[in-house]
Amino acid sequence: MRTANMKRTSHKVPGWYLRKVGLRVARCYKREMKTIQRWLLFKYVGTHITPLSKPFKTRKLAEAERSKYPERQQKSIGVGMIRVEK
């Protein structure tokens, strides 16, 4: 029995115990999701970004694909990185 001067303590219940009892445990929103970095070619059309290629695993591959365009177009094509959830 608690008295007036006792502080209330919060006891953390382990997730495995809650699953054993049958309760579902919500994942922490602060935990980072696993992501993969991919490189792609893009071009600005007005204020919007338009992708010009499929995602590449490395920047070197994206730059090689960019070099296949004519010299005049290469200046307006950018190489950017996106993060894709694994």
Provide mean pLDDT across the span 31-45.
85
Q: State the CB neighbour count (10 A cutoff) for residue 62.
A: 23
The whole-number pLDDT of residue 84 equals 83
Which residue range forms the structural domain that includes residue 63? 31-85
- Say if 35 falls within a structural domain: yes
How many domains does the chain divide into? 1
- Say if 5 falls within a structural domain: no
pLDDT tens string 12-37: 656 555 555 555 555 666 666 788 89
Per the CB < 8 A criterion, the answer to whether 66 and 74 are in contact is yes
- Say if 62 falls within a structural domain: yes
Provide mean pLDDT across the span 40-48.
90
The whole-number pLDDT of residue 49 equals 87
The whole-number pLDDT of residue 38 equals 92
Cα–Cα distances in angstroms (integers) from residue 81 to residues 40, 56, 68, in the given order = 6, 9, 19
Write the DSSP symbol of residue 60.
H
pLDDT tens string 54-80: 999 999 999 999 999 999 999 899 999
- Say if 13 falls within a structural domain: no
Write the DSSP symbol of residue 56.
B
- Say if 11 falls within a structural domain: no
Full-model pTM: 0.58
